[in-house]
Structure 1
């Protein structure tokens, strides 16, 4: 009968491709490890390692088995986290991913309020670019994220926290810097700095559609992964950009932010994997929505 220790032995050998090093990592001697792997291969009826060469290699069957055991260990880790969390989500562990722009508005408040309300939850936060955050939420490397809604939500669930308009960020000496608001059409001849589509498809497409609605396709001369970098580069006079309103909090002396007439709105949501049953997700999502409501004028 295959036991969890057999899978641990197999995965350690597969990752080191060396029985001696694997035995050291497992704190056992090499002969018992070799026998356990042989017994596992007999139980499975397939050879997992090719030992015919100087360095061992995974066979085709071994590669498939390694991939499938990855899912087993992922499920085990999820089970361990969920056991440590109560059914109400008041204790346990929660891995939170966030995109950088939320650090300028909602993230600090949510973090403070959630930590105060649920001190027994071990919350770990990691900054991401949106597309990688969505991928890691799907793979359950991250429990929950605060981010733009991904294009493909088939495996994800979400709760919208807020929607914010895009606005124009211009160099301080730009010809439109003195205006109260501007139309995107007035930027048709300007060079644009943009986030790549592969990093944040929702925002990229929103900008493209808004510009095309005003009769032009933006001439993108520079792409960078972070909104903060975009604003800094605008301040250096390398172009103009359309960014979420939250980026105004940067307060750079080299840039000005101008409301866009008929500005498109970008939604920011709490996102999680539908199959992730960590109860802390619910309490975190509820806290995010509640905190945003308190942050609005008149609700202090």
Structure 2
């Protein structure tokens, strides 16, 4: 009887520990893909747009752009999109990091409004996914010194997008209940100012004539943490599909050599308010440089160009902060 009692007590003590361990394991999620754009990663042309193929041999696994990312059962396809223009106006290239030739990075360069002369776009697309309800993303980012001229732009900046998450897309008449979360870099005043991260969630509606309507449901600005310029930093994002009580968007920043800080810890609706059966994010832009002709022209007139370097991109399914 004593032995049975000891076994029962041991099992009771062990159960919470096992449950806690399982919770920790669930927070780690599944690593889908990782790349630092090292050889043999290559940017190749796909018609007027582009793609990345090959394998980053600096990582031991989950490092093949086609076999690990495109062919993952929950992922549709990765591509690089411009929506117009040529290399004299914009490009995305894998190059060596300035000052560190041993390190390779993905370089976004935007010098003219390449989309019908009205706006500028360079973006990575992860489109056609199987409805990701919870995922986590990380990448290192470097804004070149030219971004100091963004600080002097003679107006507020509310449109300088660096990532976007669609649940659902708003450019297809066959897909109802459009919604997006847009993450960007903002400037809060007309005068010279530091730059800050901005975010909003919007219901999206597509009309028969192709026009679109965006209704902002929520927005936020972190005006305490400045966006670093000429210094590498890591951004980590967490998205969870849900309503106003359980939807989440969480983001941190960690400058190289610095402490990690929370930028956004938001409990918000993360799908369309009209969607009776939300089915996850099927399309998103994990890396993006998208803005107005006005800002692009201002930069060029100052002898500057909008440029972002990206490195160490990682994507997990079901990982939590």
Q: What TM bracket, shorter-length normalisation? A: under 0.3
Give the helix-richer structure, 1 or 2: 1
Give the TM-score normalised by structure 2: 0.21
Give the TM-score normalised by structure 1: 0.22
Q: Rg bigger for which structure?
A: 1
